[in-house]
Structure 1
Amino acid sequence: MEPDLFTAAAEERQEKDPSSSPLAVRMRPRTLDEVVGQQHLLKPGSPLRRLVGEGSGGPAGPSSVLLWGPPGIGKTTLAYVVSRATQKRFVELSAITAGVKEVRAVIDGARRASGGYGKETVLFLDEIHRFSKAQQDSLLPAVENRWVTLIAATTENPYFSIISPLLSRSLLLTLESLTDDDLRSLMHRALTEERGLGGAVTLAEDAEAHLLRISGGDARRALTALEAAAGAAISKGDPEITLETLEETVDRAAVKYDRDGDQHYDVASALIKSIRGSDVDAALHYLARMIEAGEDPRFIARRLMISASEDIGLADPTALPLAVAAAQAVAMIGFPEAALTLSHATIALALAPKSNAATMAISAAQADVRNGLAGAVPPHLRDGHYKGAAKLGHAQGYVYPHDVPGGIAAQQYAPDEVKGKRYYTPTRYGAEARYADVVEKVRERLSGESPADGRH
């Protein structure tokens, strides 16, 4: 009995009765040319093209491929296409449920299939980052001896989650999130092609826009929602999937929010102003609207980083590092989990003490520079690390602050044109109160009006 008999039977059943499988399965590409998105990986001569035998030389390349990218963008699909194009057995395992025992069973089956039937095997291992080091080690003999073509998928950074021996033996391909145009093309095909919905229903324009928003770049989510909405429309005898039908089906109301229009900027503005005003509940409301409308989480994270400097500043010096950490986390994990990170940052920023002193300081300094107050650098501050600098008087008379008590030397730093200007006016809010206590004493010492006593 051929080892992939059940897989072959399943494919035959699907071809005879397409409706027996979910729409997302039926619309799975059969060739690389049918793959939606990932055009950077599908150019002529690309590693994926060579892997399926396109181009000169026939099948080539490594026996292990790592696909890295967010959920629902086609990692499983690419593995399936490679298997189909190369006429290899396709075996799928998930690292969530499988262990070393299951991996060894697949490898043993692959060796038997290769020896007894001359048929090679593609092993698709989803969520490989969930495997321990020992479990990943168990894959190495199969990869090194080419007993299987391993295609592993991960949503985590492989440089942190995959062992070095396996990473060095693998071709790493980074997949990009699907765009609205990619999903729109996929939905059109699903609506019209016979293996999809075969033209049984159409999709209203506002329903399509809502479906794109709630899909979050996830093709599987988009097709699952489309199939459910199509079933509801057909059962009601409607030739079109309306926004109302879609909302009823997916239990998620459409949010009035145009990512390219006024609502985009109005809601983003309201989020930042609510944080500035310390209204944490209003801030969370606007954050939720942006998330539910399918806003790019990286855009939200960028706004939070700006808010941390613009409205909080030195009143809480931890606000900016927190916002930056949130942005990095969002870039790595994506939605839906990124919503938790954005909530974390939004709450912290809204409840932090506020100060725009840093914002006002740099604005005032920039205004003076634009108005021509940008005089020559004082000679004693100029670079003196070159031959002839001393003859020009450069770096002469400079007092090294570390050599004086208190570490503050009474000397002029600013150009004459702005000498005595006070750009920074700290508040008494939060941690900035400390700076308010220090800055005047420092300024007095710099001017020579206060003796250095070694204390700040």
Structure 2
Amino acid sequence: MSGLSEILRPKNFEDVVGQEHILGEKGILKLAIEKDSLFSAIFYGPPGCGKTSTLEVIKLNTSYEVYHFNAAITSTAEVKKILEYAAKVKDVKKILIFIDEFHRFNKKQQDIFLPGVEAFDYVLIGATTENPYKMVNPALLSRVRLVAFKKLQKEHIIKLLEKAVNVKKVDINENAKDFIARVSNGDGRFAINLYEILSDIAISIDKKIIDEEILQIYSSDENRVYTAKEHYNLASAFIKSIRGSDPDAALYYMARMIEGGEDPRFIARRLVILASEDIGLADPMALLVATSTAQAVELVGLPECMLNLSQCVIYLSLAPKSNSSTLAIQKALEVAKDTMNLDVPRDLLNIPDSGYKNPHKFGGFLKKSYLPKEISDKVFYTPKSIGKEKKNIEILETLWRGVKQYDDKS
């Protein structure tokens, strides 16, 4: 950890950013700390969101004797010594055992905590970035509380950067703030460390501000970071290439983003959106491919996840394109905004004797509009004669012939 990160460790509740739901007014963790009565828990959330930093607040605001371990470098034999000590002094001292990277202890190793947690010999807090339902022993999980830490948003990263500027006295312009907030992807620790690197570069050339010149120097040195402008330009070209069914161009722009240091999770999220926005019902499998790719990116990480992304990009590029579901929700939203006061038809209410007619009693379909009568003639979804969606035209026309028109006018 850099010196600046250590200096910026929170000392009180106000210093912790982005976790108001647990450390703000009436937050469950804040109340426990204020009462000096902690509970065993698993802190889980993405990297750099404040899980370990919260320990500093606990140390400074409670009477617990704290033992801090990291499961990645600590043996269970070392931990056992403290567990035995805690059992001996439980009547005279309050002991907190805080373990970072808790998931690094396998489920069998985690068994060592069961007796002490159940006997209240100590308070155990395990911090993890992994899904606790998969990585934590179920028997232990049933004896602790799960405390979810949220990913930091851009405004939280900016707040951390402002604190860093107050300490190091090297200013930062808006473009540089945007760059750090974007590449840090909600990781406050990464953001502070990157700010420290950039500020050191600025100081080395007698500058007191991090600006485009400093970003360019950093980019040249690291050969991996690109500017905020390039991020938006390349992302735009990437999406438009897939929409235009050009896999070569799409792969090229994706390669530039990855070489520039783009988070592959950002790319995966964009693919999931595109799968519904631009392909939709022309190939419903596209969404499954994209979401599976996003899961693979989380599981595998760089560099291997580039293979998953490449497969997905090629599939989406060559899939038939339809934006009918996108247009449908846009039309529905427009009408909804203007008709928020319309009553739901009585026969659709969950009340006795509403008059509802169950389609199953009429062969599976009843030719009746379910919209409020004032807008019963509205059509939001118009299928296109593309790919698998062509079948939807036939289905809708068969069901609603003489009532609604579903001609593809695109």
Q: Establish whether TM, by shorter chain, passes 0.5.
A: yes
The residue correspondences of 1:254-403 to structure 2 (distance < 5 A) are 254-257=226-229, 264=232, 269-287=236-254, 297=265, 303-309=270-276, 311-313=278-280, 316-326=283-293, 343=309, 346-356=312-322, 400=363
Alignment check: 8 A CA contact 1:92 1:125 kept: yes
SS at match of 1:181: helix
Q: Which amino acid aligns with 1:213?
A: R
Q: C-alpha displacement at 1:30, in angstroms?
A: 2.0
Structure 2 unmatched runs, 5+: 336-351, 370-376, 402-410
- CA shift at 1:24, angstroms? 1.0
Change (3 A) 1:297 1:40: same
In structure 1, the partner of 2:78 is: 102
The offset of 1:178, in angstroms, is 1.5
Structure 2 contact 279–319 (Cα < 8 Å) conserved: yes
Q: Which residue number corresponds to residue 47 of structure 2?
A: 71
Distance 1:150 1:241 in 2: 42
Q: SS state of the match for residue 47, structure 2?
A: coil
Contact kept? 1:72, 1:218, Cα under 8 Å: yes
| Cα displacement string for residues 333-387 of structure 1 (whole angstroms, at most 9, x for unaligned residues) | 7987997598257424335432439669979x99xx9xxxxxxxxxxxxxxxx99
> Does residue 191 of structure 2 align to residue 219 of structure 1?
no
Distance 1:275 1:186, change over 3 A: same
CA gap 1:282/1:51 in 2 versus in 1, 3 angstroms: same
Structure 2 partner of 1:188: 162
CA 178–359 in structure 1, closer or farther in 2 if over 3 Å, else same:
closer
1:41-84, Cα deviation, whole Å (9 max, x unpaired): 122332222332x2xxx32242x121111001111111232123
User: Does residue 243 in structure 1 map to residue 212 in structure 2?
Assistant: yes
Structure 1 residue 27: Cα displacement: 1.4
Residue identity opposite 1:227 in structure 2? E
Matched residue, 2:104: 130
Q: Quick check: 2:99–2:125 contact (8 Å CA) kept in 1?
A: yes
What is the Cα deviation at residue 38 of structure 1?
Answer: 0.9
Change (3 A) 1:48 1:289: farther
- Partners of 1:91 and 1:147 lie apart in 2 by 14
Are residues 362 and 183 of structure 1, via their aligned partners in 2, closer, same or farther at CA, if it must alter by over 3 Å?
closer
C-alpha RMSD of the superposition: 4.7
Report the Cα distance in structure 1 between the residues aligned to 2:27 and 2:397, rounded to whole angstroms.
62
Change (3 A) 1:238 1:425: closer
1:178 aligns with 2:147: no
Residues 376-424 of structure 1: CA deviation (Å, up to 9, x unaligned): xxxxxxxxxx99x9xxxx999x9859xxxxxxxxx99799xx9xxxx76
Contact preservation (8 Å) 2:215, 2:227: no
- Compute the displacement of 1:151 (Å): 1.4
What's the CA shift for 1:102? 3.0
Q: 1:329 to 1:121 in 2, by over 3 A?
A: farther
Name the CA shift for 1:275/1:222 in 2 (closer, same or farther; >3 Å): same
Q: What is the rounded CA distance, in whole Å, between the counterparts of 1:246 and 1:425 in structure 2? A: 47
**Taking structure 1 as reference, are residues 442 and 29 closer, same or farther at Cα in structure 2, changes over 3 Å only?**
closer
2:10 equivalent to 1:33: no
Q: Which residue of 2 aligns with 1:14?
A: none
The AA in structure 2 aligned to 1:120 is K
Counterpart contact for 2:175–2:228, Cα < 8 Å: no
| Aligned partner of residue 37 in structure 1, secondary structure | coil
Please tell me the residue identity of whatever aligns with 1:159: Y
The corresponding residue for 2:344 is none
Q: Provide the residue aligned with 1:5 in structure 2.
A: none
Structure 2 letter corresponding to 1:257: K
Paired residue type of 1:220: R
Q: Deviations over 1:68-109 (max 9, x none)?
A: 110011111112321232243332322333343233133134
| Structure 1 equivalent of residue 405 of structure 2 | none
Report how far residue 152 of structure 1 moved.
1.0
Change (3 A) 1:110 1:204: same
Match of 1:209 in 2: 178
CA distance in 2, matches of 1:304, 1:76: 33
1:119-165 Cα distance to aligned partner (Å, 9 max, x none): 43322212223332212221112222233321111222223332333
Partner of 1:15: none
Q: 3-state SS of the aligned residue for 2:238?
A: helix
Which one-letter code corresponds to 1:38 in the other structure?
Answer: Q
Task: Name the structure 2 match of 1:83.
Answer: 59
Kindly report which structure 2 residues correspond to 1:14-53, keeping only aligned pairs within 5 A, or say none.
22-52=3-33
Q: 1:359 & 1:399 partners in 2: Cα distance?
A: 29
Residue 179 of structure 2: SS of its match in structure 1? Answer: helix
TM-score, L = length of structure 1 = 0.64
| CA–CA separation in structure 2 for the residues paired with 1:357 and 1:32 | 47
Is 2:275–2:316's contact at 8 Å kept on the other side of the alignment? no
Measure the CA separation in 1 of the matches of 2:240 and 2:66: 53
Structure 1 stretches lacking a partner, 5+ long: 1-19, 370-385, 402-410, 448-456
Query: 1:80, 1:90 within 8 Å by CA — same for their partners in 2?
Result: no
**Paired residue type of 1:207:** A
SS of 1:67's equivalent in the other structure is: strand
Q: Distance in 1 between matches of 2:161 and 2:395?
A: 67
Q: Secondary structure, in 3 states, of the residue corresponding to 1:28?
A: coil
Does residue 36 of structure 2 align to residue 59 of structure 1? Answer: yes
Pairing of 1:396-411 with structure 2 (within 5 A): 400=363
After superposition, the Cα gap between the structure-2 partners of 1:273 and 1:326, relative to the gap in structure 1 and judged at 3 Å, is same
Corresponding residue SS for 2:108: helix
AA in 2 matched with 1:24: S
Secondary structure of the 1:29 match is: coil
